[in-house]
Structure formats: C-alpha cells, structure tokens
Structure 1
C-alpha cells in the first residue's frame, strides 16, 4: 500500500535551463510576494560566506550536513566546512588550484553539491572532474576525470562513490583508489533539461531518474540493472512539450519509491520490481519531501513563477525559498502561508536542508544561513 495521503501544491520552477535549444522571448509573469499576516517568526542564527556562489548559472550546489559540520561549495572551486552550531569556519580548500587542469585563477566549475560518507566528502564539476576530500581537514584524497558533466551530488555507498553524468552514464568508482568499478549507460535525447536526478540508495541498490520519463534501479555491486520503468511518455506535441526528464531525485519511503517528471507524472513505484502502484498528471523539476503520510512537491499555485526551491520540513511546517530570497513557511495541513522573511536578495536554487530543527540555505551569491523558528 502506498505511503501517501495528499499533495501540498506550493509552486513551480518553470524556468529550467534547456540543453540543445535556445530560450524563447515570451515574457513570464511573476507573481508578487504574497502579503501575509505572520503567525510564525523566523530568525537567522548565523551567516557565513562560501566563496562567490554560483552566480546566475543554474547550479544546484546543495550543502550537506554530517560530522557536526556543514559542508558547502561555490562554483569557482571553494569547498568549506563550518561548525553546524556556531557557523565558525573549520577549513577551506580551493579546488581550482588542486589539479593540473586549472590555475588558481580559473573556475573549477563545481556543480551538484557536496555529499558525504566513510569520513570523506565528494563533489563533482561541470568539467567532469570528481573530487574526494577528507571531511576532517579538507585534504584532497584523489580526483578523477569521469568523461561527462557531474550535475548532481555524488553518492557514497558500498565503499564506492557513484556519479550521474550529463551524457547518460552512471559510473561507480572505488572510494579508496579511484579505480572505475562499472558503468551504466543510458541514451540521452537531443533536447533535454540541463540537469540530472540525484541517486538514492537502499539495500545494495541505487535508484535514479533519467530522460525520456524513465526510472532505473541498479545494483551497487557490479552495476547490473534490476529494473527500468517508464512513468510518462511524450504525447507527440512540440519539442518542448516532449521534454519529460526525471531530474528530481526520487524519494524512498518504506518499500515505495516516488518519482516525478517534467511535463509528466508523479508516480509511486514498488521498490523491488519497479511496478507502478499509481500515478497522476504532475510536472516538476524539484525533489520531494515527506512528513508522516503527507508527500510535498512544488508545482504551480499562488507563488507561480517565483522559481521556488524544493520543499523542506521545519518544525512540522513546509519551507520553500524563491529567486528573490524570500523564505516562505506554509502550514503543512492547509497549505496557507504562515511565515515569511527575506534573506539574500540574489536568490536561491539549492534545496534547503534541515538538521535538528535548523534550516540551512545556500544562496546564489554564496551566503550560507542557518534559520530557526523563534
């Protein structure tokens, strides 16, 4: 039985960057910031600077939280660790100066965000470079060219680090040596969204979204495909309407996997077989979050075209942040706005993270903030 009872529709990111076509010139009407009676007050516990951020490039440089630290990066090459409670900087490294491909003045084009595991952290780049660092010191353990853009966070599991690349590959490397273990190959259509689904792990397998409305499960040991499932097919309309990428990271809850496609469907799949349990018409690029029996995903509503982030759960409320840096807090049952504050006006793309009822956000300008409810 699917662990799902309802959806909270909060907004949509419809200005995704396309690969293989030029943007159109149609004006997009942006909804004004909703004026609300604030019922819940938010406060910033601390701020810290992480290099120069990602700028106007669509880059999901999501931080990660582990080992009592927050790890974050900018696009140019800075990776830093901060104390999760105080925000004090523990270490910082510039990866632009750590390889033979770059000088310290050239951008490393880091992308996708930081992941952690086995006392190490990992991050990839648009140049196809994968970096493994010691979490305690930031020391570079090894780096490797993988042959394709790494636009999603690497995954560490089974003593391997696994990446998804923009040219349709999922590649596993030995975490200690950097030697390639296996490659899973998927065809990429000529026109896709510029991005990749993140990878999720469960009981020796990984699951991820792909272009053409596909979800796949692959064994960590050996890279053999367990199953592949199509959750939506193109309707034969215009080229843009036929983009049905699954760029949102699937959500695992019990023995059910949830996935959503752009221009497509929201679907629940049986984890073991990939069988579709149910699906409904829904379109999103953003990852989902679950709280109890409620599944939350951003799509179009009153905050239309404000380029909302993926949702996060903060003290039982739903939090999203927009392109102008407004943090919106919604009632998890009614979907009504109950709290709001503006952080960095340069805006946000990366998904907010929650740890011990603290919300962590990284802006496009490189401002890392820890926010709580008063």
Structure 2
C-alpha cells in the first residue's frame, strides 16, 4: 500500500461528490417517505433494555460474539455489551473519532480511526496501534490470530493480532472513483474473501496470494459515478453458498470456495443482503424490500410500503424480516410475502448498520447512539 494513492483518491471522491450535489440541485424534490403501513400484529416483540453509546454512523457495524456484541461510536467509544442485560462488559474511550469497525474474534477487537490508525483492544485495554497509509470504511476482520484491513483504495493488509506487526499487503489497480462505504472483507474456510471493484477475490490469509477472482458487478454507466460497482459489506453465507451485492448493479450468489457463479440478477441497491438456506432478502435504494429464492435467484416477493423511508440493512429471522428506518422505527415483515407484521419505536433517529440477533435478543443501534434490546416472542 503506497502513501501517494489516497490523496489522489480523495480528490476524485470530492469531484464525485460535487457532481452528485450538482445533479441533485437540478433534480426534482426528494420523494416523501411512505406513510407507515398498517401492521397485522402477527409478530410479537417486547422491549428488554436500552443503553447509550454515542453518535454512530453507517460505517460502524457491530460484531456478535455469543451473548456479547461489540459496538463503536463515531466519537471514540469502543464497548463490549452483554445482550441479555444491555450492560457493559467493558468500555474504553479511544479519545479520537472512529471511522470503521468493529471487527473481533471474541477476545480482541479492532477499529480504524479517522486519523488512519488501526487500533486493537482486549479486555478494555488497547493492545497496539498501527498507522495505515489510507482511511478505511470497512470494519477490520479479526481471525486466525491476524487482523485484516481493507483501506478506502481497496488495498488489503494483514497484521499479527498480538503484536501489530505487518505481515503482508496486497493491492490491485483501483478505479478512478471509489466508494466511501464499507466493502466486502470476510473469511470462508481458509479463504480471505475480498471485494475489489466488481470482482470477488479469494486470498491466501497467510501470504496474501490471490487464489481466484470472479467478476460479479459489470459497469454499464457513462460517467465515473455510474461506473461504481464495488461489492459492499453485508454478504449472506450458508455453507459454501455466498450471496453478495454489487453497488447499484446486481445481486449474485456463487460458491465461496471456488468462485463459480450460481446466478446473478440486476438490482438497484447500495447495501448488503441477508438470508437463510431458502431465501435471500435485500433493500433497494428507494426502500423497496425484495426477496429472492436463494438457489435460483427467482423473485419471491416485493414490499414497497416502506419506500423512501431510508431503510437499514435487513436481518432475516425464522419468522420475520427486520429492517430499521430513518425515523427510528424497526419494522417486522413476513418472510413469506413481505406483509407488515409489526413495528416498534426507538428514539426517533435513524437505525444505523444492521439489526443484530445475538442469542435470543434483537439489538438495534440508532444514529444518536441509542442501543435497544428487544426480545422476539
């Protein structure tokens, strides 16, 4: 990973954002959020506890470890909570804003700060810090006594989890404009899976050597913004079956060990997916919730009653699809047909990241830092 690349990327990002702002200034007014749909009451959920973390952002995704969850705030709080009670197991203030996180293995937990620093903590104490050559939007991955990091230019590096020693780095030539949101970085067997632009790559986690690459997202745009096809965070894995989303382009399922494509279907979403052995669910950028048959990609249903409500990543439970919205509502939809079953309120600010299932507890985090535990019945 080389130092000069990131300022170049930053300038292009600024240009891209300026283009978007210019386009929005002449576009029609933002569509109004759909009114809250009538619920059937076919799902029961009870509030269990609430806590406070601090202002959060979409890059700050929680990680689940048995009956504990690890969370980070934009202001520098890193906390591990007990999901049954909502109480802190431990919490530290890093005294610097956090940009990406949290990754963990149940013992060590990693975040990346806005100062480009990779920070690894254990039992409420910082183990080590390592300066990165570029900002990261992707939660670090802690696995196999290593910490893996993907920076904004989609370079990947591995560090020793105990000492912070850099072990290897891998980088491919990047697109002229890069996506400022969490990318795909996850383990599957002895493979480290990485999203490089519209490609899914498998790396050897010990050396960084590339084993295979599969093209998932194909650009059809005419300008830099429209050609963004990065694979985004939030993949659904069932055994070797891996389903991913390419930004505003497609959803696809493939064999995560070989890269062999099972199916691909056009889709206009910008967030990840969730699923089980039979069903895959995702949210389009306009708030439509879609479900596909996992094995074939055939559409199962579409729910458009929550359009323009700024929906979160979805969570698929056995008896409900869970999504949060920009007003702090948590919606429960039928996994069979998408009908609205139930909804519960939080603090009125947007649900960030993804609803979390840890044990028998459902946890959501809001933009103003509320952490809410619910008990589905």
TM-score by length of 1: 0.85
* Separation in 2, partners of 1:277, 1:70: 33
Q: 1:208 aligns with which of 194, 210, 215?
A: 194
State the match for 1:351 in structure 2. 354
Aligned residues: 339
Q: Could you report, residue by residue, the CA deviation over 1:181-239 in whole angstroms, capped at 9, with x for unpaired residues? A: 1111023323232113132212211112232x221111101001111122232224244
State the match for 2:126 in structure 1. 140
* Separation in 2, partners of 1:231, 1:316: 30
Structure 1 contact 318–331 (Cα < 8 Å) conserved: yes
Q: Alignment partner of 1:86: what SS?
A: coil
Asked if residue 233 in structure 1 is aligned to residue 218 in structure 2, the reply is yes
State the match for 1:152 in structure 2. 138
- 322-331 vs 303-312, which deviates more? 303-312
State the match for 1:31 in structure 2. 33
Q: Which has the higher contact order (CA 8 A, sep 6+)?
A: 1
- 265-274 vs 214-223, which deviates more? 265-274
Question: What CA RMSD, in Å, does the superposition of the two structures yield over aligned residues?
Answer: 1.9
Q: Could you report, residue by residue, the CA deviation over 1:82-124 in whole angstroms, capped at 9, with x for unpaired residues? A: 222111223221101xxxxxxxxxxx22133212216211112
What's the CA shift for 1:130? Answer: 1.0
Q: Alignment partner of 1:242: what SS?
A: coil
TM-score by length of 2: 0.84
Asked if residue 85 in structure 1 is aligned to residue 84 in structure 2, the reply is yes
Asked if residue 335 in structure 1 is aligned to residue 338 in structure 2, the reply is yes
Structure 1 contact 112–123 (Cα < 8 Å) conserved: yes
What's the CA shift for 1:67? Answer: 5.7
State the match for 1:291 in structure 2. 276
State the match for 1:44 in structure 2. 47
What's the CA shift for 1:49? Answer: 0.6
Asked if residue 321 in structure 1 is aligned to residue 307 in structure 2, the reply is no
* Separation in 2, partners of 1:371, 1:323: 18
Aligned residue runs from structure 1 range 190-205, under 5 A: 190-205=176-191
State the match for 1:255 in structure 2. 240
* Separation in 1, partners of 2:310, 2:178: 19
What's the CA shift for 1:42? Answer: 2.8
Moved over 6 A (4+): none
For structure 2, the residue ranges without an aligned partner over 5 or more in a row are 1-12, 289-303
* Separation in 1, partners of 2:218, 2:193: 19
Structure 1 contact 78–95 (Cα < 8 Å) conserved: yes
What's the CA shift for 1:140? Answer: 0.8
- Greater helix share, structure number: 2
What's the CA shift for 1:270? Answer: 2.4
- 62-71 vs 300-309, which deviates more? 62-71
Structure 2 contact 231–245 (Cα < 8 Å) conserved: yes
* Separation in 2, partners of 1:315, 1:260: 22
